[in-house]
Amino acid sequence: MKAVIQRVKKASVSINNIEYSAISNGLLVFVGFNNLDNLIDIKKITKKIINLRIFSDLNHKMNLSLNDIHGELLIVSQFTLYANCKKGNRPSFIESANSIDAENIYNQFVNYMKSKYKKVKTGKFGALMDINLINNGPVTIQLNSEKL
């Protein structure tokens, strides 16, 4: 399971030019899955996202977590995180979970995250989404459950 986390002042997801969901201060998380991902991966990534100390304290040091600031979380599925660009110029997505399995684990991830953190919003799995954000910092962190 891979995640790209962006610290944001605000972020929103629109589908067909209609806002689907939006957050203010918090984290925008793009998440992708492979066929080996399971509940262990979900738990590791969830714990890391909630507790990652990437928000500034009073001394302007990254020392506070999403939990500490009571920020919001926006989760967006993104299979392209498993793109393989080693051969040629067209990415291969054979390492990504197929859409049925990916949707199942995405829903498990969202539900588990909601059980651990209350301010969670999402994009719509499989939809063509427009993402608007103001990246704060900018701060962008990559996570891979295999390396946690």
Of 46, 80, 122, 140, which one is the catalytic site residue?
A: 80
Catalytic annotation present for 80: yes
Report CA-CA distances (Å) from 144 to 1, 41, 57: 6, 9, 26
Tokens of 34: 């492979």
H helix count then E strand count, the chain: 3, 8
Q: Does residue 36 sit in helix, strand or coil? A: coil
Q: Which residues contact 32 (CB under 8 A, 6 or more apart)?
A: 1, 2, 3, 77, 78, 79, 80, 81, 82, 96, 102
Quickly list DSSP for 114-135.
HHH-S-EEE--TTS--EEEEEE
Supply the residues annotated as catalytic. Answer: 80
